[in-house]
């Protein structure tokens, strides 16, 4: 099922077009997953940090950055509290202490 199909089923005005309970349940699972990713921040585990090297093209220098695994997709994300979402999966991130 595509995200667009799920959105169509979750739209109550169009729901009558999709009459099987299984289809509606599948759309609801996709909707719940999307809400969790986009709206409920997951805590980043900062005990598992790793240093990554990346080329800064503007400075033409290789810089090192601390990174931590995304709580959802486990891909490495640079530790930067101004980053609110994982760039790979879209998971909303919780970096721990607020206003620090
Ligand atoms: Zn992710």
Are 48 and 84 contained in the same domain?
yes
The Cα 58–Cα 28 span in angstroms is 44
The Cα 97–Cα 32 span in angstroms is 26
How far is residue 82 from each of residues 11, 12, 90, measured CA to CA in Å? Answer: 34, 37, 15
Q: What is the mean pLDDT of the chain?
A: 88
What is the count of structural domains for the chain?
2
Residue 17 has pLDDT above 80, yes or no: no
**Residue range(s) defining the domain that contains residue 71:** 42-94
| 86 CA → ligand 1 middle, Å | 5
Which band of pLDDT confidence, cut at 50, 70 and 90, is reported for residue 24? confident
| 2 CA → ligand 1 middle, Å | 20
**Mean pLDDT confidence for 88-98:** 89
Would you say 15 and 25 are in contact if contact means Cβ atoms under 8 Å apart? no
DSSP3 helix / strand / coil % (the chain, rounded to 5): 35, 25, 40
Are 50 and 23 contained in the same domain?
no
pLDDT at 92: 96
| 3 CA → ligand 1 middle, Å | 18
């Amino acid at each position: 099922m595509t995200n667009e199909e799920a959105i169509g089923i979750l739209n109550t005005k169009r729901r009558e077009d999709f009459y099987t309970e299984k289809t509606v349940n599948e759309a609801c699972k996709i909707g719940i997953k999307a809400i969790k990713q986009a709206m409920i921040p997951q805590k980043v585990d900062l005990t598992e940090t790793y240093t990554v090297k990346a080329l800064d093209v503007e400075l033409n220098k290789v810089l090192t950055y601390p990174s931590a695994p995304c709580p959802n997709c486990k891909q490495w994300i640079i530790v930067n509290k101004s980053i609110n979402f994982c760039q790979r999966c879209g998971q909303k991130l919780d970096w721990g202490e607020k206003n620090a």
